[in-house]
Structure 1
Amino acid sequence: MSEQVIGANSQVIFHFSIKLADGSAADSTKVHNKPAKLVMGDGSLTENFEKCLFGLAAGDSKSFELAPQDAFGMPNPDNIYYVERSKFSVDVPPQVGAIIAFTQPDGTELPGVIRDVAGDSVTVDFNHPLAGQRITFEVDILEVRN
């Protein structure tokens, strides 16, 4: 049996860690020992993330650095909203740095980071928290199925 390597439609089970430029961990599947599972091309990873995985096989470990535009993109000013303070509940007052889930018209929730509170206006940033960050993506491939 030949070793299976990651290709266009492979199902991959892997551990990953995402580290910021300062070396701090932003996310890791190792914390709870629950590996990630994906099918290449299913849209759960950006095209640039997937390109880094092509050709790897079970047992491989790799680390690669991604520029912001290749990882979570650059912050989009259209994703910054100004919300009236009255829209926040008394139980959860808006505080700078807090992440609050906002319910969308279709019922899904979208997390937003409170960037500023000025008078009755609250600035909420709906960009991905890692947008604009240069990151290091470390992977340990556990299983590959083609």
Structure 2
Amino acid sequence: MNTNIVKIGPGRQVTLHLAVYLDDGTEVLSSFGDEPIRFRMGDGTLASGLESLLVDLEPGANEQMLADGAALFGTPDGALKHRVPRSDLPKGFMLEPGQVIQFQTPGGQETPGTVLTADDTEVEIDFNHPLARRRLRIHAQVLDVF
């Protein structure tokens, strides 16, 4: 038994492939077939809840895990639902419930919002993480840890 194997933990540098799927099989993101993701645990590249699923995995691990989006991206907060005048959005912009669109905050950051309802005068937007209310399947293939 090799006790020198480095496992994923706080501050470790990790190289892996990662895919996230909705419970219906829809792929949300994937690095498979592309460049692997390289990051240091805790640097903010991945949500802390997602990082917690990776702790103690070692190079060569090829894991599939089920997760609740709220555990990975934070419990949805009702205060993050806002009604926005339709006139604040680009003219002719087609909106459908479930659609995720990017908004710019007053500080210049981009944040996603999920359209809940839309009529001729207002749009209700949920600014919680778009995956916070979903069941997810995570596929992680660990390439290197150091």
Normalising by structure 1, we get a TM-score of 0.83
Q: Go from structure 1 to structure 2 and tell me whether the alpha carbon gap of 1:99 and 1:22 turns closer, same or farther (over 3 Å shift).
A: closer
The more displaced of 120-129 and 41-50 is: 41-50
Give the Cα–Cα distance (whole angstroms) in 2 for the partners of residues 51 and 126 of structure 1. 23
Normalising by structure 2, we get a TM-score of 0.83
1:18 corresponds to = 20
Q: Please identify runs of 4+ aligned residues in structure 1 that moved more than 6 A.
A: none
SS at match of 2:87: helix
1:61 corresponds to = 62
Q: Go from structure 1 to structure 2 and tell me whether the alpha carbon gap of 1:51 and 1:125 turns closer, same or farther (over 3 Å shift).
A: closer
Shift of 1:14: 0.5
Q: Is the 8 A contact 1:19 1:27 kept in 2?
A: yes
Q: How many residue pairs were aligned?
A: 143
Q: Go from structure 1 to structure 2 and tell me whether the alpha carbon gap of 1:107 and 1:48 turns closer, same or farther (over 3 Å shift).
A: closer
Shift of 1:12: 0.2
Percent of aligned pairs sharing the same letter: 30
Shift of 1:51: 3.0
Q: Residues 1-146 of structure 1 correspond to what in structure 2 (within 5 A)?
A: 2-31=4-33, 33-90=34-91, 92-97=92-97, 98-145=99-146
Q: Is the 8 A contact 1:73 1:132 kept in 2?
A: no
The Cα RMSD (Å) is 2.1
